[in-house]
Structure 1
Amino acid sequence: MSGADQSSAWPAERLAEARAVLADVAHHSDHLIRLACDVLIRHGETADEREAAQRLLVVVDARRSVQRAQREDARRGRP
């Protein structure tokens, strides 16, 4: 495959990977979900796809704050 072929295939391959991660979100890390959301927010084919990725990113980031608070509470001996 030539360099031009690789560069033209890259966006489609990354979009497909990002969509696959979000289609099976329960089995992927928050970090990978964030990366997939970032790809779709920037390069998604439709406004709906970009907006859905943005909403999911907000949810994942909110969950991260809850998880961090729970860890801090556990360290302080709170239930």
Structure 2
Amino acid sequence: MTEDEPGPFRASREGQAWPADRVAEARAVIADVAHHSDHLIRLACNVLTSHGETEEERRDARALLFVIDARCPARLRHAQRTDHDDAPEVSR
């Protein structure tokens, strides 16, 4: 790969913009919540609760996360969590 080619592993100033890109993507998901899965909405809410610019944005993301979690019965959420608990460990 030459320096002129864009690529996923470039460690330049473009690599420093990824948090802002993720926040922008999370905002886009939240803006069009009716067309996204609950899982993707949860991910977007988690990004915004941690990295939102204002306290209002973080609070709204927490509120939406609460609503999304309330739509899913507790036993199903528990089953989804335990499905991943028995997954094989990945060593790096």
Counterpart of 2:57 in 1: which secondary structure? helix
What is the root-mean-square deviation of aligned Cα atoms in Å? 1.6
TM-score (norm 1): 0.77
Amino acid at match of 2:62: Q
Q: Percent identity?
A: 61
> How far, CA to CA, are the matches of 1:43 and 1:6 in structure 2?
19
Amino acid at match of 2:29: V
Counterpart pick for 2:34 among 4, 26, 33: 26
The alignment covers a number of residue pairs equal to: 67
- RCO greater where, 1 or 2, for CA within 8 Å and sep 6 or more? 1
After the TM superposition, which parts of structure 1 deviate over 4 Å for at least 4 consecutive aligned residues? none
Q: When the two structures are superposed, what TM-score results if normalisation uses the length of structure 2? A: 0.67
Q: Residue 40 of structure 1 is aligned with which of 30, 35, 48?
A: 48
Unaligned runs of 5+ residues in structure 1 are: 69-79
2: CA distance between counterparts of 1:30 and 1:11? 22
